[in-house]
Copies of this chain bind each other. A is one copy, B any other.
Amino acid sequence: MPIAKPIEYADASAEVRAVYDDIMKTRGSDWVNNFWKYLAHDPKTLRRTWESVKEVMAPGALDPLVKEMIYVAVSVTNNCEYCIHSHTAGARAKGMTDAMLGELLAVVGMANETNRLANGWQVPVDDAFKVK
């Protein structure tokens, strides 16, 4: 359960509404998801986080679907329930199929396992992997 109440559009300051408006416009959507309604308690963080997410998730050297799947991988590793839901929804909207989701989670599981095997044995980095 949340530690505050969400700030709805009707109750938001002009500063907060401007971010909400940009979120809806950018997404071609008529609603704002809960994440932003809680960040709105700290308008600077709301604005900075939205601008940062927009920049980071924009098409670039990686396509937006790959970025969303990386987001899911991190969120699963950290067990962020909200982020798992919002970013699997985002990835599905960008074309992730059920088969892709299944493989994504399989890789996340395997990486978490071998991370601990490598850390458990404290395996030293091979010379071949070192930056010359």
Please report A residues at the B interface, Cβ cutoff 8 Å: 1-5, 31, 33-35, 38-39, 41-42, 44-45, 48-49, 52-53, 55-57, 60-62, 66-67, 69-89, 97-126, 128-131
**Which residues on the B side are within 8 Å of A39 (C-beta)?**
117, 121
What is the minimal beta-carbon distance from A111 to any residue of chain B, in angstroms? 4
A121 touches B70 (CB 8 A): no
A/B interface sample: 28 pairs, CB < 8 A:
A1-B131, A3-B88, A3-B121, A4-B98, A33-B129, A34-B124, A44-B55, A48-B55, A49-B109, A49-B113, A53-B114, A62-B107, A66-B69, A69-B70, A73-B73, A76-B119, A78-B79, A78-B115, A79-B80, A84-B119, A85-B126, A105-B120, A108-B120, A109-B116, A109-B120, A110-B113, A112-B113, A113-B113
